Amino acid sequence: MYERTNQGLGQVPKAVVFDRPVWDGLFYGQSPGLGQPPLPHVTEIRFRNTGTTDPENCCANCSTLVPATGGRLNLGVGLRGSGAVSLRAANGMELAFTISGHRPGIEYDITRTRRNSLWERRAGVWTRLTTVPMGTRDDRNDDDECLRLHRSNRIFAEDRPGWNHTVLPAPHDHIFTSRLSGPLVATHADAEEIVSRFSFAEWVIARSKAEGIPWTRLELPPFRDGTPRRFVFWHSTIWLTRNASHQWVLDHAHSEIARGPLRAAVVNSAPTP
């Protein structure tokens, strides 16, 4: 199945997107049947790539105590956030969705799909170690989500693509591994540069068991020109290189985390400065 968006054609295979009941209307934003009240809708989307996660963000990952930040997770390139004592080989972002029209019994979920690739340069030659197409499910659990409405009527998702446990500079013989899809993939000890690219699509679904409403896509705020918005797109690039001591460090000029998609042609092309 494919959905056409103003950012291009994105593959969304039903079988891999959800581990929850799926119905045909989920992908098209159809309203509940006649006689059922309408579901809530999203009135505002906030994407953050600086500072730390919001104090209202109750995600399980966000409860990890980080003394320098009062228990909040660092965001941004290298997870430099606020009060970070070291860089990491990962980037961080937080999405907040403001919900209007909530009523008791409504449950929410934030779901995400991705395309991504991992590249390394050895002896001056770039090699792609892995790639997955857009539409690949990236919602294994809810540990990175806060799905309970607080006073601000928001739900949250955070993500830190990359190797968020790897402190930089990393030793010269450090091996970077990835098992996002399929078998374990590992870089080589003699690699000169490593580039990890991700492009994500996120949206909100809701259901009401009491009212017999299955998981259904919620309406998102339209684009400025009035075009319907079906996804929130964002992307992350982590570019690692060697310093004078041959340790692994972050190439800040080529690393980023920001709104908007990365086209398949970019994700699947050899990196260029």
pLDDT of residue 71: 65
For residue 118, pLDDT over 90 is answered with: yes
Provide the terminal-to-terminal Cα distance of the chain, rounded to the nearest Å.
35
Q: What mean pLDDT is reported for the chain?
A: 86
The total domain count for the chain is 1
> CA 234, CA 164: separation in Å to the nearest integer?
18
In a domain, 137, yes or no: yes
- pLDDT (tens digit, 9 = 90+) per residue, 170-203? 999 999 999 876 789 999 999 999 999 999 999 9
Q: In which band, very low, low, confident or very high, does the pLDDT at 20 lie, cut at 50, 70 and 90?
A: very low
In a domain, 74, yes or no: yes
Residue 203 contacts residue 138 (beta carbons within 8 Å): no
Average pLDDT over residues 42-59: 95
In a domain, 273, yes or no: no
Answer left, alpha or beta for residue 63, where phi above 0 means left and psi between -120 and 50 means alpha.
alpha
Q: In which band, very low, low, confident or very high, does the pLDDT at 46 lie, cut at 50, 70 and 90?
A: very high
Average pLDDT over residues 54-65: 83
The pTM is what?
0.85
Q: In which band, very low, low, confident or very high, does the pLDDT at 22 lie, cut at 50, 70 and 90?
A: very low
In a domain, 228, yes or no: yes
C-alpha distances in Å from residue 241, one per residue of 80, 117, 174, 246, 258 = 18, 17, 12, 9, 21
More confident residue, 172 or 13: 172
Residue 62 contacts residue 53 (beta carbons within 8 Å): yes
> CA 69, CA 85: separation in Å to the nearest integer?
10
> CA 75, CA 158: separation in Å to the nearest integer?
9
Residue 128 structural domain: 2-26+41-267
In a domain, 254, yes or no: yes
State what percent of residues in the chain have pLDDT above 70: 82
Tell me the two tokens of residue 47: 């994407």
> CA 92, CA 73: separation in Å to the nearest integer?
8
pLDDT of residue 35: 62
More confident residue, 193 or 18: 193
State what percent of residues in the chain have pLDDT above 90: 72
In a domain, 126, yes or no: yes
In a domain, 272, yes or no: no
pLDDT of residue 151: 87
Average pLDDT over residues 9-13: 37
In a domain, 31, yes or no: no
- pLDDT (tens digit, 9 = 90+) per residue, 221-261? 999 999 999 999 999 999 999 999 999 999 999 999 999 99
> CA 66, CA 63: separation in Å to the nearest integer?
9
Average pLDDT over residues 44-64: 90
